[in-house]
Every structure is written in C-alpha cells, then in structure tokens.
C-alpha cells in the first residue's frame, strides 16, 4: 500500500488537479492561462503535497515491511492513527465545501481502507507479541 501511495504521490506532483475539473468547472491549463501566478501556486501546492505524500508513504512501507516483520505496537499504532486520520480529515476538509466527488476521493479512501485492513490483519500478531513481552528493545 505504501508503494502504491508513493506512485500516486509522483502522479499528484506532476498532474495538478486530477479529478478537480468537474468541481472547478475548468482545467488546470485554463487556470494557468487565465492567471499564471495562481497556476504556479496550485502547482507548488501539488508538488509539496506529492513530496509529503511520498515521504509518508515511504515511512508506511518501511514500517509495514521492517517494523512489523517482528510485531511491534510502536510501529502498528502510528499506522492505525494515520489510516483513521486520513478518513477523518478527508471528510472534515471536503464535505463542508461540497467537493465530495468519487473522482476526487477514490484514491485516498481505497488506500485508507487497505491500511485499515492491514492493521486489522496484523493486530492479532502484534498484540500476541506484546502480551508475550514483545520483541527485544534496543
């Protein structure tokens, strides 16, 4: 899931406003033509978002691959918090402005669900390891 998120981050950084044209009523190219400075700000925000998303996704992939190879509550809890917060903040940020189209939401919702499934699947082994004393601590 983290690797998929990294790929999506690269697309987000190179393709501003995917799925937004219906909400805005015009394309990024139209915005950039009408107001180049606004286009630059939008581009800047998408590159910043894509870069942050790539970093967080790398961290998720790393924790899932290495941090949970030996079950660890310290790796499991941040992934759980991230998955829940993605869904919560998606709703808090988009529902009030009415931008709730499937084209805009499908990627983060599916990835958050995949994360939650991974957390649910890994929970028994994580809690079993914690109750048995957990992995050796450094």
Report percent pLDDT > 70 for the chain.
86
What's the pLDDT score for residue 5?
67
CA distance 112 to 70: 23
Residue 112 in this model has a pLDDT that exceeds 90? no
Contact 17, 24 (CB under 8 A): yes
- Considering the entire predicted model, what is its pTM? 0.60
Q: How far apart, in whole angstroms, are the C-alpha atoms of residue 53 and residue 60?
A: 10
pLDDT digits (tens, 9 = 90+) for 72-94: 788 888 888 888 887 788 778 77
């Amino acid at each position: 899931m983290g690797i998929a998120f990294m790929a999506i981050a690269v697309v987000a950084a190179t393709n501003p406003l995917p799925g937004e044209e219906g909400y805005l009523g015009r394309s990024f190219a139209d915005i950039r033509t009408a107001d180049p400075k606004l286009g630059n700000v939008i581009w800047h925000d998408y590159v910043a978002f894509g870069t942050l998303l790539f970093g967080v996704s790398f961290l998720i992939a790393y924790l899932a691959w290495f941090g949970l190879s030996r079950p660890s509550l310290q790796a499991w809890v941040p992934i759980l918090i991230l998955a829940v917060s993605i869904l919560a903040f998606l709703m808090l940020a988009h529902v009030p402005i009415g931008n709730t189209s499937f084209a805009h939401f499908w990627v983060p919702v599916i990835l958050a669900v995949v994360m939650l499934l991974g957390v649910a699947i890994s929970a028994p082994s994580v809690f079993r390891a914690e109750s048995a004393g957990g992995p050796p601590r450094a």
